[in-house]
Amino acid sequence: MISPLIVKEFKDLIRDPRIWIPFIISALIMPIMGLVIAFPMKSAIEESLSGLKVGIVNLDKGREAVGLINFLGGSGVKVIDLTPYFSNTSNNNLIINDLVKLVKERKVNVDAVMIFPRAFTSRLAMKSKVPLVLFCLVREVSIFGSPKVYRITNLVEEYLRSRMLKGSSLNPNVIMNPVNLTSITYLEGKGILLRGDPQVVLSSLGFSAFFLPLILMIISVSVIQMAATSTAVENEERTLETLLTFPLSKFDVLLSKLLGSFGVSLIGSVLNLIGFVAYLYIFSIAIPSQTGFSVNLTSLLISGKDLAYLIVSLLATLFFMAALGVIVGALSSDVRIAGSIVGPLAMAVFIPGYFISFANLSSLSPALRALMYSLPLTQPIALAKKAVTESLPLHTPIYLMISLAFSVAIVALTARIFSLETLSSLQRRLSRLRRRR
Amino acid sequence: MEAVKVVNLTKRFGYFEALKGISFTVNEGEIFGLIGPNGAGKTTTFRIIAGLMKPTSGEVKVFGKDVVRETKEVRKLISYLPEEAGAYRNITGFEYLKMVAEIYFGKGSEAEEALELGIKLAGLGDSLYEKMKTYSKGMKRRIQVARALMVKPRVTILDEPTVGLDVIYSREVRGVVKDFSREYGLTVLISSHNMLEVEDICEKVAIINEGKVLTEGYVKDLLSEYDAKNLEEVFIRLVKGGK
Ligand SMILES: Nc1ncnc2c1ncn2[C@@H]1O[C@H](COP(=O)(O)OP(=O)(O)OP(=O)(O)O)[C@@H](O)[C@H]1O
Ligand SMILES: [Mg+2]
């Protein structure tokens, strides 16, 4: 009768705040992360389109300089004339030094300053390259810092282009974009045609390939942690000895522990998944065009059968992680020791998965590739990569069986060493080792 | 009938010999006490009988079944209360008893009977439905004693059942064990380093020290043989005489 024990494991875990709080936190972190990234991004884009303040130092005073200044003003840029500050110099370096002083003394408040040298109008009249100095002020470091400056240079180029082409029959728009390009991407492995630039398509695919290992990592770490904690607690609170005298085999005891933590981790994984979907959703509201595209694309590209395989593979990996956690917990005399082993172990366990998410699978030798498809640590990531660009290999069911067999083997192996005697002597040796240090 | 038979049992931990050839016999229906000072080897002996540890040499039989070769059968005959038995923090006492009943008997009338007996033996009232992390040491011990007895094992092994309990609680637990054994005719093995307590509950004892049995027999016989007022005196005489 193993089911009462599984029920107990499940209840004991799910009622422990130390277990479920991390799940809730990691599930909440994702949508919050979405908010944190998406809204500054959105406001940065919006902000860059309005209220730009540009100072002007006009040493040229010619017709074209005035024309450009008016053009900027007409395009919604607030223009502030700073020329009076620089009436007796024409050296750019001196002007910049003085500008720095002005900014430091807070006499001017602008986003950028444009310096028109004396030759501006005459050079433009000769239709040769026009000198112009743009002095940009950066007040804050942000990933989205540059759009403001882009906007100024775009306006300047637009004006100059139209001035230079004046009198000719050329259309400035055609000069800028001489090709009307339609890109079509063909995914060879899947035989699918997609409208769009391969760069855009691949980066959206890469986006999901990047997030899968990340989610897997978050969930796995909490599964290892949970299984280790719940097993170590049996040692710490001295309940293991009783458990081992019940009319159950050691394999049964371990298996209930595994299934209990596995069940709870499933709930945790669902929470995490909801968090991830919320993250994507927030992202797609804030920046509609790009993210929505990638999500739809991914779901379009993976077939139902492949998706089912992927889910089985993920579950097998979670099961494996729970087994690892149980081993760690069983060998630890208390929760603290288990925790200090789990941290580095979780890192180490992820090195292969990390490797796979960056490696080019097709360049590996066939044996190594088969191994990557079979190991619980690498399998879901390798399969996901394959599933997104191609279909899953024909042997996928075999790979899944190997992964599950691997986990069961680990459990059986643990059951063999899982006796009070080996555990107590191991723990004695461990504590002696620590005392010596 | 012989319920437990231990013959020439030894146990080595590395170079340290914890048990140096222990022998004793417990008949069915008896309450047997294994007494001796700290580190004498009581817990080690009990763990071997319960199948938690393997003996280095010697033989242990429970109702004729060998604990090493027939561990599974032996497990069904015995129930064991470890010296330090903790409680699951987030499980209630009731849930715990129910789980144990179901592990032994599945779901059915037998399990319900066991659960009922367990509730009676624990005698915790409404606290039974609270999480065990709120229990005092005494309450945890009572749950454990109830858990061990309620499945009515042919042999119950209690390693210091009254450790950490106050005088009144210990008396109560002793009373429960005594009544239980008498009522169902079941065999109980108890260890203790409190010799006076053992006198109160056991009819037969073995005194062990440093992994060796110093003497074994019925309490009455030992007292008259060593001309002592109580078992403590017997023990002191044995230890001094040995040196
Ligand atoms: N796993 C182990 N490894 C090494 N030595 C052990 C181990 N378990 C017990 N011992 C040693 O064996 C001896 C007997 O221990 P045991 O626990 O059986 O004594 P005890 O009679 O139950 O004592 P107490 O009254 O303190 O509970 C002690 O010296 C102890 O240190
Ligand atoms: Mg002991």
What's the gap in Å between the CA of B237 and the closest CA on chain A? Answer: 35
Determine the average pLDDT of the residues in A210-223.
74
Asked if A123 and A243 sit in the same domain, the reply is: no
State phi, psi for B106 to the nearest 5 degrees.
70, -155
Q: Cβ contact (<8 Å) for B13 and A425?
A: yes
Q: Which residues line ligand 1 (CB under 6 A)?
A: A 424-425, 428; B 13, 16, 18, 36, 38-44, 83, 193
pLDDT at A294: 46
Top mean pLDDT of A201-205, A420-424, B72-76 is at B72-76
Place of tokens 């399990």: B111
Q: Is the pLDDT of residue A293 over 50?
A: no
Asked if A211 and A144 sit in the same domain, the reply is: no
- Non-local (6+) Cβ contacts of A359 within 8 A are none
Q: Is the pLDDT of residue A29 over 70?
A: yes
Determine the average pLDDT of the residues in A299-307.
71
For the full predicted model, state whether its pTM sits above 0.80.
no
Domain membership of residue A72 (yes or no) is yes
Asked if A293 and A345 sit in the same domain, the reply is: yes
Chain B residues touching chain A at CB-CB below 8 Å: 13, 47, 50-54, 72, 75-76, 78-82, 84-91, 95-96, 98-100, 102-106, 131, 144, 147
Torsional class of B195: left (φ above 0), alpha (ψ -120 to 50), beta (otherwise): alpha
Question: What is the domain class of B2-239 according to CATH?
Answer: alpha beta
Asked if A247 and A275 sit in the same domain, the reply is: yes
Nearest-atom index, ligand 1, CA of B44: 18
Domain membership of residue A184 (yes or no) is no
Query: Residue A212's pLDDT band (boundaries 50, 70, 90)?
Result: low
In this structure, of A241-250, A289-298, A344-353, A411-420, the range with the lowest mean pLDDT score is A289-298
Place of tokens 């112009």: A132
A–B CB contacts, 8 A cutoff, strictly below: 83
Please give the structure tokens belonging to residue B145: 């004693």
Domain membership of residue A189 (yes or no) is no
Nearest-atom index, ligand 1, CA of B13: 4
If one compares A272 and A72, the residue with the highest pLDDT of the two is A72
- Domain encompassing residue A297: 3-34+194-436
Distances (CA, A) of B195 to A35, B33, B141, B212, B236: 70, 9, 20, 17, 11
Determine the average pLDDT of the residues in A205-233.
76
Structure confidence by residue, pLDDT tens digits, A33-56: 778 777 776 766 666 656 788 899
Domain membership of residue A42 (yes or no) is no
Tell me how far the alpha carbon of residue A241 lies from the centroid of ligand 1, in angstroms: 15
pLDDT at B227: 87
User: CB-CB: which of B13, B79, B88 is closest to A8?
Assistant: B88
Tell me which residue of A156, A131, A171 sits closest to A71, measured CA to CA: A156
Asked if A134 and A277 sit in the same domain, the reply is: no
Q: pLDDT tens for chain B, 243 residues: list them.
A: 899 999 999 999 988 999 999 999 999 999 999 999 889 999 999 999 999 999 999 999 999 999 999 988 998 899 999 988 889 989 999 999 999 999 999 989 999 999 999 999 998 999 999 999 999 988 999 999 999 999 999 999 999 998 878 888 888 889 989 999 999 999 999 998 888 888 889 999 999 999 999 999 999 999 999 888 888 888 888 887 654
User: CB-CB: which of B54, B76, B131 is closest to A247?
Assistant: B76
pLDDT at A161: 87
Q: Last residue of some domain: A125, A142, A176?
A: A176
CATH of the domain at A110: 3.40.1710.10
Query: Residue A208's pLDDT band (boundaries 50, 70, 90)?
Result: low
Testing ligand 1's pocket by substitution, the residue of B9, B13, B162, B192 carrying the most ligand atoms inside 8 A of its CB is B13
pLDDT at A203: 62
In this structure, of A140-154, A279-293, A335-349, B105-119, the range with the lowest mean pLDDT score is A279-293
Structure confidence by residue, pLDDT tens digits, A133-184: 888 887 766 555 555 677 788 888 888 888 888 878 888 778 777 787 777 7
pLDDT at A205: 60
pLDDT at A105: 87
Asked if A340 and A226 sit in the same domain, the reply is: yes
Asked if A14 and A72 sit in the same domain, the reply is: no
Q: Cβ contact (<8 Å) for B95 and A247?
A: no
Domain membership of residue A403 (yes or no) is yes
Domain membership of residue A376 (yes or no) is yes
Which A positions 4-23 lie with beta carbon below 8 A of chain B? 4-5, 7-8, 11-13, 15-16
Q: Last residue of some domain: A150, A176, A202?
A: A176
Asked if A230 and A327 sit in the same domain, the reply is: yes
pLDDT at B193: 83
Asked if A309 and A350 sit in the same domain, the reply is: yes
If one compares A425 and B226, the residue with the highest pLDDT of the two is B226
Domain membership of residue A295 (yes or no) is yes
Nearest-atom index, ligand 1, CA of B46: 18
Asked if A225 and A356 sit in the same domain, the reply is: yes
- As for the ipTM of the complex, it is 0.89
Asked if A363 and A407 sit in the same domain, the reply is: yes
Asked if A154 and A239 sit in the same domain, the reply is: no
Tell me how far the alpha carbon of residue A437 lies from the centroid of ligand 1, in angstroms: 25
pLDDT at A292: 40
Running DSSP on this structure, what letter comes out for residue A53?
A: E
Determine the average pLDDT of the residues in A356-362.
79
Testing ligand 1's pocket by substitution, the residue of B12, B34, B43 carrying the most ligand atoms inside 8 A of its CB is B43
Which of A6, A8, A256 to probe by mutation at the B interface, max B CB count within 10 Å?
A: A8
Long-range contacts of A117-126 (CB under 8 A, 24+ apart): A117/A59, A117/A60, A117/A90, A117/A92, A118/A59, A118/A60, A118/A90, A119/A60, A120/A60, A120/A62, A120/A64, A120/A65, A121/A60, A121/A62, A121/A63, A121/A64, A121/A65, A122/A62, A124/A64, A124/A160, A124/A163, A124/A164, A125/A64
Q: Last residue of some domain: A176, A211, A238?
A: A176
Domain membership of residue A404 (yes or no) is yes
Tell me how far the alpha carbon of residue A433 lies from the centroid of ligand 1, in angstroms: 20
Q: How many domains does chain A have?
A: 2
